[in-house]
Structure 1
Amino acid sequence: MDRTDPMFLDALKGILPEQTMELLQAHLQNPQSALQTLWRQASLLVARLFSLAYPLVEPLLARLLQALHDSPDVVVLGFALALFVFVLQVVSWVHRTALYLTRLAFRLLGWALVLAVLAVVWRRGPEAAVRDVVVFCGRLAGYAAVVRDIWWSEYQRFDAQTKRGGGPGGPATAAAGAGGSQRVPSGGYSRSRNTGW
C-alpha cells in the first residue's frame, strides 16, 4: 500500500477538499495507523497461506501441466470451448446492449412526441390545437373513405370476374363459362358445365 499511496493521493488532490486530503494522508501514510496495520497483517496472512499451500498444490499443478503437455488435443478442445463461451458472452452482451439502446431510443422518441405536442399546444393555444386535430382527423377519415371505396370497387370487380369466368384466370375459363359446354377431344363426349353459382 505504501507504493501506490502517493500516486493515489496525488490523483485525488484536485478532487477532494484539503481537510479530507490531510485526513487521508494521516491514515494512509502513517505507519502506526489502523489501516496500515490491517494491510500489513493481511499481506502477512496471504504470504503464509501461500507458503503453506504451495507444497501441497505444486505436485498437482506439475501433474496437470504434464497431462496437458502429453495431450495437446485437450488443450485445443479447452481453448476452442473457452473461445466459444467467450464469443457467446460477447454476443449476449451486444444483444443486451442493442435491446437497451432500442428501448432507450423508443422512450426518447415517445417523450419527444409528447413534448412536441405540448409545444404545439403551447404555441397555438388549446382551441387552435383542438381545431387542428379535428381537421386532421377529418382529412384522415376522408382519405380512409377513398381507400375503402377503391378497395370495395376492386373487390366487386374481382368477384364478378370470378363468378363469370369460373376463376381469376384468363379467357379460356371465361369462354368455357360463356359457352356452357365444352368438347373433350380424347373422350369424344361433351360435358356440360354449370358456372352459375
Structure 2
Amino acid sequence: MDPFTSQALSALLPPEMVDYLYTHVLHPSSPVQSFLRSASLWIQHAVSAAIPIVGPLLDRLLDAMSEHQGATGLVVALAVVTAVVVIMNWVRRLVMWWTRLVARLTFWTVVVLVVAAVWQRGLMITARDLVVFASKILGYLAALRDVWVDEYNHYESQQRTGASGARGSRSSHR
C-alpha cells in the first residue's frame, strides 16, 4: 500500500479500525486480497480466451465502419441520444423516488406530531391550536396573494403604457 493511503487511513479512522483493515482487508493473505487475486486471474483467463474469437469480429466491424462512415456517424449519434435519454430517465426516477420519500416522511411526521399533541394536551386544546395555526397561515397566504396581484397589475399597466408608447414612437418615426 502506498504511504498516502496509509496516512489517510490513519488520519481518518481510529487506530483499532486501521489495524483491523490492515489485518483483514489489506494484508496479502486476507480473504479480500485472495478474492481479488482469484478474480483477477479469472478475468485474465477469460480475456485471453476471448481475444482469438472477438479479434476477427472486431476487425470486420472496424472495416465495415470505415467503409460506411455516414451510417456509422448516424448510429453513434443515435447511441449517444439513447444513452442520454436512458440516463435522464434514471435521474428522473431517482428524483421522483426521493421526492415521494420526503413527502411521505413529512406527512407521517405531521400525523405523529398531531397525535402526540392530542395525547399530551387534549383534543379540544389541540383543535383550537390547529384552527389558530391554520388561520395564521391563511392570513399570510392572503397577504402574499395581495402582493402578487398588486405586482401583476403593476406589470400589466407597465405593459399597456409601454406598448402604446412604443406604437406612438414608431408611427412618429415614419
**Which structure carries more relative contact order (alpha carbon 8 Å, separation 6+)?**
1
Choose 1 or 2 for highest CA Rg: 1
More helix as a share of residues:
2
